[in-house]
């Protein structure tokens, strides 16, 4: 999860399959259990392996609940979400909206290169 030197992100997460609240909670537990995890990190979340086709708007809102609590205690500096296909992109934008939109300092990108470029521009880079 934690990136090697030279990456624009401090933490990189690749998510796959159909997203569930339980899986998102598990990712949170892994992050919170790592002594390197703290407020102010730059994160890159690769959503290209997700199958968002079965998600409803209510499901997307449920996925944000563990992140809201985590962000309250450990607000990230910036989070770049990579979502190359239309369905995943739309779901990622809805997810971002539930987390506060632009105030959450999350952005959704079609490519990893765009996401990394944006992360590199964020304060503290």
pLDDT, position 113: 95
Average pLDDT over residues 2-29: 84
pLDDT confidence band for 67 (50 / 70 / 90): confident
DSSP letter at 110? Answer: S
pTM of the model: 0.91
Cross-sheet strand order for the sheet of 78-82: 11-17, 42-50, 78-82, 106-109
Q: Are 37 and 31 in contact (CB under 8 A)?
A: yes
pLDDT confidence band for 124 (50 / 70 / 90): low
Average pLDDT over residues 51-71: 90
Q: Which domains does the chain have, with CATH numbers?
A: 11-120 (3.30.750)
pLDDT, position 3: 63
pLDDT confidence band for 125 (50 / 70 / 90): very low
Q: Are 27 and 15 in contact (CB under 8 A)?
A: yes
pLDDT, position 46: 95
pLDDT, position 8: 87
pLDDT, position 5: 59
* CB neighbour list of residue 20: distance below 8 Å, 6 or more residues apart: 63
Average pLDDT over residues 36-46: 94
């Amino acid at each position: 999860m934690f990136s090697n030197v030279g990456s624009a992100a401090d933490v990189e997460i690749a998510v796959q399959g159909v997203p569930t609240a339980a899986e998102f909670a598990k990712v949170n537990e892994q992050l919170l259990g790592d002594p390197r995890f703290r407020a102010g990190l730059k994160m890159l979340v690769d959503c290209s392996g997700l199958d968002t086709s079965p998600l409803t708007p209510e499901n997307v809102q449920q996925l944000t609940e563990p992140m809201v609590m985590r962000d309250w205690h450990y607000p990230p500096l910036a989070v770049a979400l990579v979502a190359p296909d239309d369905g995943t992109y739309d779901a990622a934008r809805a997810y971002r909206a539930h987390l506060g939109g632009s105030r959450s300092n999350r952005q959704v990108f079609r490519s990893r290169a765009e996401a990394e470029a944006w992360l590199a521009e964020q304060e503290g880079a």
